[in-house]
Amino acid sequence: MERVRVVDGEARLVGSRCASCGHKTFPRRNRCPACRAPEPVQETMLGPGGTVEHSISLYVSTDESEAPYSVGMIRLDDGPTVLSRIVGGAGAGAQVRVLADPESDAFWFAPAADANATARPHAA
Amino acid sequence: MADAGITLDGIEVAYFANSFGGLLTGQESIRGQVVLHDAGLRGIPIVNVENACASGATALWAAIRAVRSEEFDVALAVGAEKMFVGDTRRTLAALRTAADVETTAGQGLQFVAIYAMRLQSYLDDGTLSPEHLARVTTKNQRNGALNPDAQFREPMSDEEVLAARAVAGPLTLPMVSGISDGAAAVVVTGQPPSDGVAVRIRASTLQTGGVDGLDEPAVGRAVSLAYEEADIGPEDLSVAEVHDTVGPAEFMRYVELGLCEPAEVGAFFDSGATGPGGRIPVNPSGGLTARGHPVGATGLAQAVELLQQLRGRAGDRQVEDCRIALAQNSGGWLDGDSAVCAVHVFERIAA
């Protein structure tokens, strides 16, 4: 599944939008989960902006995440909520923007104010 | 078999619960047949059940339906999990797959992160203190110390729990369920024993997680439907075993079971209601953090504990006047909700 795409030099999340009710999802779905309209949903680009609703630091490394690292629930300005790694320190209420590496289909969020933030989270 | 008073030949159908055998041992497709063949079961229908951390209760749910349909008189629900494979990272990686992996790939240990975030918000709004997180953990450790089948049987002090290695946000290592090997089994029959005490299944519900937050969360739905089916309310429960993947998740379960209001979870716990001798002891087995969390066996281990309690066979951890018991077993992660939740209600009946 293609989760991210770079549009005009800016990372976006690949979601869907229902033509009938307008409900947006991430990731992209084939049918609208809200109204279950028979028509296929339309692909739409989500982000880059969002607000951190919750975030937490994790101190245990896994096969793909070297500790310590942060994970948060981010409410996209477009609506959907996304669980994601966060770099650069952004607690609840912070404005963040999505960054992505389309080659590995990876995405993460960084403080919106930090225009230079591009460092992807450290993988194990 | 001995506890049920039957022999292997009395089993007519078996449901085998396991979640990570494929990833951790390489055994796929016929795990139940492999294990139960070795145990001596021959020829009867065997159904493999995989439903994340709720696999065990799902096997029980299916076994109950086999008997309720009257196609079978005696059904076996058995769960087993082998999680120690000499490589903790491999086990953690397997646990991480109980989610939509396309959505969550690369985002870390999301289960622990989500529980930690929810509990952090309880701390932030003053509903709970860090000491609460430790005290519910040590409450269950002390319960586990009385359970000969528990994995961790040495209680720590609250201070030791708080000072232990941090895992996620406010959660320390003893607050998080560990890696376990274990198995549990329940025999379901429409023919109660002619002597002694039998247990009736008053409710058996299985629900799937909501999508995009559009539905009520799965745990709440499974609990409501179980109360409805059993025609009881939370005030009727004598004891409960709940799914505490991280020990302090027990606080969320109090709310989901309707035992108290969200803002009152700290005070409810402080009252001793859920400890030994309390109004409704919760996790007398020690729960997932002390009894252990062999994923595919957990739901059945909860049921076994409650069957022992209802029949007055729980030894030093026996809940007094135990009549109605509830088990809540959930698992997986899907679109911001538990992917699966099963709830069972059991009642003691005199033969």
Please state the ipTM of this predicted complex.
0.93
A64: Cβ–Cβ under 8 A, 6 or more apart, which residues? A123, A124, B93, B105, B106, B108
State the average pLDDT over residues B36-49: 96
State the average pLDDT over residues B139-148: 98
Select the residue from A24, A65, A82, A83 to test the B interface by mutation, using most B Cβ atoms within 10 A. Answer: A83
Query: How far apart are alpha carbons B324 and B52 in whole angstroms?
Result: 27
pLDDT at B305 over 80: yes
pLDDT at B104: 86
In which band, very low, low, confident or very high, does the pLDDT at B351 lie, cut at 50, 70 and 90?
low
Q: Distance, in angstroms, between B35 CA and closest chain A CA?
A: 29
- Nearest CB among A25, A59, A65 relative to B166 is that of A59
Query: How far apart are alpha carbons B332 and B326 in whole angstroms?
Result: 20
Please report the residues numbered 96 through 125 in chain B whose beta carbons come closer than 8 angstroms to any beta carbon of chain A: 96, 102-110, 112-114, 116-118, 120-121, 124
pLDDT at B45 over 50: yes
Query: In the annotation, is B53 catalytic?
Result: yes
Select from A13, A22, A9, A27 the least CA-distant residue to A96: A13
Query: How far apart are alpha carbons A25 and B87 in whole angstroms?
Result: 36
pLDDT-above-70 percentage for chain B = 100
**Mean pLDDT in each 10-residue stretch from start to end of chain A (124 residues)?**
94 96 93 90 96 96 87 95 92 95 94 78 65
pLDDT at A124: 47
**In b/e form, how buried is each residue of B209-230, taking b as 16+ CB within 10 angstroms?**
bbebeebebbbbbbbbbbbeeb
State the average pLDDT over residues B123-149: 98
CB contact under 8 A, B108 and A62: yes
pLDDT at A123: 66
Q: Which residues in chain A are contacts of B93 at CB distance < 8 A?
A: 62-64
Rounded to 5°, the CA angle A29-A32-A36 comes to 140
Select the residue from B115, B208, B212, B334 to test the A interface by mutation, using most A Cβ atoms within 10 A. Answer: B212
CB distance from A69 to chain B under 8 Å? yes
State the average pLDDT over residues B87-102: 91
pLDDT at A64: 78
DSSP, collapsed to helix, strand or coil, labels residue B142 as: helix
Structure token pair of residue B41: 């079961």
pLDDT: is A120 or B167 the higher one? B167
Least confident of A20-34, B24-38, B174-188, B264-278: A20-34
Question: In this structure, what is the dihedral angle of CA atoms B63, B64, B69, B74, given to the nearest 10 degrees?
Answer: 60
pLDDT at B103 over 50: yes
Q: Between A and B, how many CB-CB pairs are < 8 A?
A: 95
Summarize pLDDT for B242-259 with one digit per residue, the tens. 999 999 999 999 999 999
Query: How far apart are alpha carbons B281 and B304 in whole angstroms?
Result: 16
State the average pLDDT over residues B319-339: 95
